[in-house]
A and B are shown apart, each in its own frame.
Chain A
Amino acid sequence: MTKVFIPCDSAALSVGADSVAATFAAIAQASSLDVTIIRTGSRGMYWLEPLVEIETTSGRVGYTNVDARALTPSVVADMVSASDLPNSIGLVDSFPWLAKQQRVTFARVGVIDPLSIEDYEFFGGLVGLRNSLQETGVGVVEMITESGLRGRGGAGFPAGVKWRGVLQTQADQKYICCNADEGDSGTFADRMLMEGDPFTLIEGMTIAGTAVGATKGYIYIRSEYPHAISTMTRAIDVARSHGVLGESVLGSGKSFDLEVRAGAGSYVCGEETAMLESIEGKRGMVRPKPPIPAVVGLFGKPTVINNVMTLAAVPMIMAQGPAAYQALGHERSRGTQVFQLAGNIAQGGIVETAFGITLGELVDEFGGGTRSGRPVKTVQIGGPLGAYLDHNSWDVPMAYESLAAAGGMLGHGGVVVFDDTVNMAQQARFAMEFCAEESCGKCTPCRIGSTRGVEVIDRIMAGVDQSKNLVLLEDLCEVMADGSLCAMGGLTPLPVRSALKLFPADFGVNGGTR
């Protein structure tokens, strides 16, 4: 029997993976070929999807951009026998784009059946959880601290310090909340992991919960991710029936359980305190800090809030020890980062590698430049609240501090590429417009500043009182940056200011033409 792997990742589905799987199965059956089709996550080489892999004795062989309409009995037979075809890339693991990466968090994504806990264990799953259950809570928190793991949601706060805060706070109930409200444009790592290897997240959350004394966890997933919600929900059921979740986690006597909560189309609910409000069923209004959620969090109880990528890194740290993770990285950014190449890019997808890779390497070497073939004009890193950068930043190592020093923000690691047809005044205007659309409305700089920002940029673009309006825009940006309650209003000036600084001509400023 030959195993055939076809992704069920929603992005792969968006280019026809489901019909490939159905057609392949039908032809294989009609031709009496002895095959089993296994649906996996995606390898994250999206420009090659749908990517079909065939198991051979030397590894999995890949066929790219498979089109269901082009599948004939002879093509299917050739694929099953791993014959050379124009679209074959040989052994997938040796494919240079993949082989150059260091897949740690994403080691199993695209390889295993996401809902098979047997596959998960076979590929090293649950080792970290078993190890952590042998440790005290203090011991686990120490190991996470030693690993140097920092929050992958954007702020980069040390995960161990956050956990210690919750561990040390006395309460009758504590919670773990996973922020899976991955709303930044250009980011999709959380979605891919939840669709492709959900047990990793479950394991990471269970380690966190049993360590700090939380018995309940919530995964808040945005409603724009219906497939992730479905896979995650089913994976929790599987984990529960295998004793990974429940009254006694793997027979340890420690209790931990999980629940998925869906968002409802609000970007600001990715802000941690707005997310807590939303899980509680309220409007997603940002809470002032302090008190921090580690002390007063969900339902007023001490709560660990981490991003999907942070929690998904935990099982590996607990399995292989903090030193292995600490050994990777750049300066104070330890471990690997899952970069996401998006927008106008020839080879878009997931690049997991140690911190410190340069922006140029990501965009040119991995990304292969623009999809349109035109020159790259700018990239936006870190979502709608991230700065626009140009070629002058090509040599900047991708890490929290070095990127911040270059005026950028790593955020969730999304890199959106634009070619030279983009108008940066339009992008700056969109940043303000998006803030106006998604502001929770609690604080004035964000709620009103964003609307005024759109108007001011419109006047600048129209050439009305330009020098005065430029001063006004800068003043407005300063008020928003310094006076907003959270990053929504506080960071919106980042794309606006960087666009204006790098590309004044697009605004019709400095004698430039639009």
Chain B
Amino acid sequence: MTPYSEDLLRGVLSQHSSKGVLFALQTTQEVLGYVPDSSLNVIADVCNVSRAEVYGVFTFYSDLRKTPPAQVVIKVCVAESCQAVGSRTVVDELHARGYDVHAGTIQDDIACEQIFCLGNCALSPAALINGVPMGRVTADALLQAASEMKQ
């Protein structure tokens, strides 16, 4: 069973069919929170390309996800500037609490994912929690903010 209306999605996507496959994938994720397998056929149809082509674009970009996201997503920067002020420690501490940022583990409806640079390099280590920027973070501060956001 499809957990969403294909017709509804088709309606949204066909307004922007000229903007290409990536835009359609991003729009799908914006509307549904992720890109369900079955939506690839809808996108292929709307954009008039093969399903394989859509799949190729889908798998290239790390933002696009094939499963629903956790309620709260913590994106931790692991690039050089944040490494210089302890992002490796943040990552290790999150790991010790059951969150593997490489795998994007979901636990208690909170996910921790790695990201390469948020442009907040003067206030490293940086993170983004459901789109809200945080600077000079620790693992504790991140998980605390995430659990507050869940309520």
Contacts and interface: CB of A to CB of B under 8 A. Distances in A.
Interface of A: 10-11, 13-15, 46-47, 49, 182-188, 190-192, 223-228, 261-267, 278-284, 340-345, 348-349, 371-372, 380, 383-384, 414, 416-419, 422, 427, 430, 434, 437-438, 440
B121 A264 contact: no
Given A185-B117, A224-B128, A11 B84 contact: no
B116 A438 contact: yes
B23 A10 contact: no
Of B63, B81, B116, B126, most buried by chain A (CB within 10 Å of CB) is: B81
11 contacts: A14-B123, A46-B123, A185-B79, A188-B119, A226-B128, A226-B131, A228-B119, A264-B63, A282-B22, A427-B80, A427-B83
B121 A187 contact: yes
Interface of B: 19-26, 47, 56-57, 60-64, 75, 77, 79-85, 115-124, 126, 128, 131-136
A280 B60 CA distance: 14
Of B47, B79, B119, B136, most buried by chain A (CB within 10 Å of CB) is: B119
A343 B61 contact: no
Contacts of A283: 56-57, 60
A348 B115 contact: no
Given A46-B122, A348-B121, A348-B123, A284 B115 contact: no
Contacts of B81: 185-186, 342-343, 414, 416
Given A343-B85, A349-B122, A416-B81, A281 B61 contact: no
A223 B131 CA distance: 10
B118 to A, nearest CB: 5
Given A224-B116, A342-B84, A414-B121, 11 more contacts: A184-B117, A185-B82, A186-B79, A187-B121, A188-B122, A264-B25, A265-B64, A281-B22, A340-B122, A416-B81, A434-B116
Given A10-B119, A266-B60, A261 B23 contact: yes
Contacts of A438: 116
B85 A372 contact: yes
B121 A15 contact: no
A344 B117 contact: no
A416 B121 contact: yes
B63 A223 contact: yes
Nearest to A383: B80
A265 B61 contact: yes
A384 B57 contact: no
A342 B80 CA distance: 10
Contacts of A49: 123
Contact of B121 (A185, A262, A419, A430): A185
A10 B57 contact: no
A184 B131 CA distance: 20
A15 to B, nearest CB: 5
A417 B124 CA distance: 11
A137 B134 CA distance: 45
Contacts of B119: 10-11, 182, 187-188, 190-192, 224-225, 228
Nearest to A45: B122
A191 B119 CA distance: 7
Contact of B133 (A11, A186, A341, A430): A11
A490 B15 CA distance: 40
A380 B136 CA distance: 20
A282 B124 CA distance: 33
A416 to B, nearest CB: 5
Contact of A345 (B77, B82, B122): B122
A97 to B, nearest CB: 13
Nearest to B115: A224
A98 B63 CA distance: 37
B132 to A, nearest CB: 8
B135 to A, nearest CB: 4
Nearest to A347: B122
Contacts of A226: 128, 131
A278 B22 contact: yes
Contact of B85 (A228, A266, A371): A371
A416 B115 CA distance: 17
B18 to A, nearest CB: 10
Nearest to A15: B135
Contacts of A225: 118-119
Closest 10 CB pairs of A and B: A281-B20, A348-B122, A342-B121, A185-B79, A343-B84, A264-B61, A14-B135, A46-B122, A265-B63, A14-B133
Nearest to B134: A14
Contact of B19 (A47, A266, A281): A281
A228 B75 CA distance: 17
A262 B80 contact: no
A185 B119 CA distance: 7
A380 B116 contact: no
A11 B117 contact: no
A47 B25 CA distance: 38
Of A187, A191, A278, A282, most buried by chain B (CB within 10 Å of CB) is: A282
B29 to A, nearest CB: 9
Contacts of B133: 10-11, 13-14, 227
A242 B33 CA distance: 35
A284 B23 contact: no
Given A266-B61, A281-B20, A281-B21, A342 B116 contact: no
A186 B80 contact: yes
A412 to B, nearest CB: 11
